[in-house]
Amino acid sequence: MRALVLGALLCALPCAARAQDRPVLLTNGVAHLGSDVPQAGCSILIEGRTIRAVGLGLEAPAGAEVIDLQGQHVYPGLIDADTVLGLSEIDSIAGPKDTEEVGQINPNLRAELAVNPDSELLPVARTGGVLLACVGARSGLISGTSAVIRTAGWTWEDMTVRAPAALMVRWPDMRIDRSGQHEKTVEEQLEARDGQITSLDEAFANARAYWRAREALDAERMPGDVKWDALRPVVTVERGAYAQPRLAVSVFADRLGEIRAALDFAERHRLKLILVGAADAWLVADELAQRNVPVILGPVQSLPRHRYLGLRSCYEVAGKLHAAGVKLAFSSGGDTFSVANARNLRLQAAQAVAYGLPVAAAERALTQDAAEILGVEDRVGSLEAGKEATLFVASGDILETTTRVTRAWIGGRAAPLRDRQLELYEKYRERPR
């Protein structure tokens, strides 16, 4: 009896993803391989967690499961490049929110440790083709490090693709209210803003001095500091094993003043910079391209930051950045309110396509370019032999609102596409009318 009860309980557990016990050959699909023209009639062979082959007329290995896609489209898993998926569930309840920490300087916080694999929002994102996401905290000036995760898995270790992915810095608001209506005087506002920038400068200077001291002395005899230890992959030390930063710094900066200040800060401390949000980035697009600074855009479907701009200005930013040669990625917004909209990531890109961004560039920004910005291009982001089998099948072009995701694989495992919204739909569809 105990064995029967235990078996029933195990069967009732939610399934993150079922392991593939034999190869899978997808045939007769339209594969989006990163070029301007998708490859029709393409086959993809999945073995274990890896894409083994991509091409025309592939032969199925012995014992393989063969799936005829009948002309459906195959894409690499979409990447939400800035979100709190798995860190926040319900915005109005404090319990399931792991996006904030006390203090302003917290480089030692690791986002992947707080990811909840049982979040109800993860399967919702999967049904929109979002199979990968870059997640991180949201508080303070230095919020810790972000992590690239899969949107299915049993544990945070199982879900993590890369951690740390970047150090997260939230740039202070550079605006000063001189109307006399602000609760602080102009001098107090200037002092508060400059004090925050000084805190950031001091944090990086202290980390650099700490590592110079550790290299000059016997590191084992010198007491460690978890904050400055966490900044080691980011700071540049003139002498030592790592002359160049190995980890990028994602700076959240929307307005032009903040973006310019962030660029100066990165140059001052010799940082590898990624701009996040960056609503005004189009105003300095040529400089960003020249300095090879990528941009992770906030929600395309939003309101203008300035009164003098038309409603379409938000939709045009991606196209202007692409035209200038800036590498970009899309995000659902990265706050606890917009986390539920990760499923609409592809529609954010579609809006940008309607206002000047080429289709191929939009697809790359959702996949390959996002992977390159986040440093995971060697594992995910494209349909290539040797890369992780994280991909999905769609009924048509993903930039069309009527397209549905019909199948998905994450890390070579079939990922379920049922979510709470679908279950509620099926439940109330049977309600007597």
Model confidence at 398: pLDDT above 90: yes
> Considering only 29-38, 211-220, 329-338, which range has the smallest mean pLDDT?
211-220
For 160-170, how does the pLDDT look when each residue is reduced to its tens digit (9 = 90+)?
A: 999 999 999 99
Residues 237-250: tens digit of each pLDDT = 655 544 566 899 99
CA dist., res. 300 & res. 291, Å (int)? 24
Structure confidence at residue 430 (pLDDT): 86
- In tens, the pLDDT along 339-360 reads 888 999 999 999 999 999 999 9
* Cα–Cα nearest to 150, from 331, 415, 352: 415
CATH 3.20.20.140 given to domain 78-379: yes
Q: Is the pLDDT of residue 334 over 80?
A: no
pLDDT of residue 432: 86
Q: Which helix (H) or strand (E) covers residue 147, if one does? A: strand 147-150
Burial of 416: CB neighbours in 10 Å, binned 0-12, 13-18, 19+: middle
CATH architecture of 14-76+381-433: Roll (2.30)
| Domain extent listing, the chain | 14-76+381-433, 78-379
pTM of the model: 0.91
> Mean pLDDT, to the nearest integer, of 15-21?
56
- How far apart are alpha carbons 111 and 134 in whole angstroms? 9
